[in-house]
Amino acid sequence: MAEHENAPNDSIIVCEDVHKWFDDFHVLKGITTSFEKGERAVICGPSGSGKSTFIRTLNRLEEHQRGTIVIDGVELSDDLRNINLIRQEVGMVFQQFNLFPHLTNLQNITLGPIRVRKMTKSEAEEIALSLLERVDIADQAYKYPSEISGGQQQRVAIARALAMEPKIMLFDEPTSALDPEMITEVLDVMRELARSGMTMLVVTHEMGFAREVADRILFFDEGAIVEDAAPADFFDNPQHERTKLFISQTLQH
């Protein structure tokens, strides 16, 4: 594994000059950044700027073609063992929830612990039930995802990711597919998670959430990080024209 001298010691994610192309289309144009343990970063930016693609490269749902990504000391490469190791460390929550419709909510959560972490069924169920308690839907354990609301589904999805006891949680627009009245319940769960000290990378347009919870806001535009600042600086003193425009547009809504 390569040494990264310029990265601070407690960085859990280190990206150096990460590039990604879809065929000829250059989506990520040299992302260099790092995230510390327990850091809560919000990623925002216009549609198509590569936010999703970036966080999806962090657990190899997308492959980067140049540069290095090191997660908790393990470099992401073609090595399948490394990929599987990293996927156990990194939980992901999707915009469309992506729950498994043929399994109950409880089974959705226990599948990973049983099959990947090799827990016994009863151990896994105990953990799953306590996680459902934590996201406030213990009474929905034995229902199927299709039988609960969108906000509840997203909370099951968060519990499913947490059941693997990840060190990092990635969120890709977790509230964008939700009806307005359900957004709060999901954001509440995420706030609680942030207080517990989880390392979180959140792609979102919820600027209120960003201002309140984030240690740091990264602004993406055309595949590059344009602005990277603490929330106070980001909102009150943005450096770049694109950021200013974006903030004025989003705050109008």
Ligand X SMILES: Nc1ncnc2c1ncn2[C@@H]1O[C@H](COP(=O)(O)OP(=O)(O)OP(=O)(O)O)[C@@H](O)[C@H]1O
- In the complex, which residues of this chain contact ligand X (CB under 6 A)? 22, 25, 27, 45, 47-53
Q: Minimal CA–CA distance to 110: which of 129, 91, 84, 85?
A: 129
- Give the residue with the Cβ less far from another protein, 18 or 162: 162
CA dihedral angle for residue 212, residue 216, residue 217, residue 218, rounded to 10 degrees? -160
Angle 159-43-253 from CA coordinates, rounded to 5°: 100
57 scored as a contact of Mg ion (CB under 5 A): no
52 scored as a contact of Mg ion (CB under 5 A): yes
Residue 99 interface partner, choices ligand X, another protein, Mg ion, none, CB cut-off 5-8 Å depending on type: another protein
Residue 87 interface partner, choices Mg ion, another protein, ligand X, none, CB cut-off 5-8 Å depending on type: another protein
Q: Compute the least distance from the CB of residue 168 to another protein, in Å.
A: 12
Q: Compute the least distance from the CB of residue 9 to ligand X, in Å.
A: 30
Contact assessment for residue 248 and residue 241, using Cβ atoms and an 8 Å cutoff: no
Q: Compute the least distance from the CB of residue 59 to another protein, in Å.
A: 6
CA dihedral angle for residue 220, residue 224, residue 226, residue 229, rounded to 10 degrees? 70
99 scored as a contact of another protein (CB under 8 A): yes
Q: Compute the least distance from the CB of residue 205 to ligand X, in Å.
A: 8
What is the spatial distance between Cα 84 and Cα 7, in angstroms, rounded to a whole number? Answer: 24
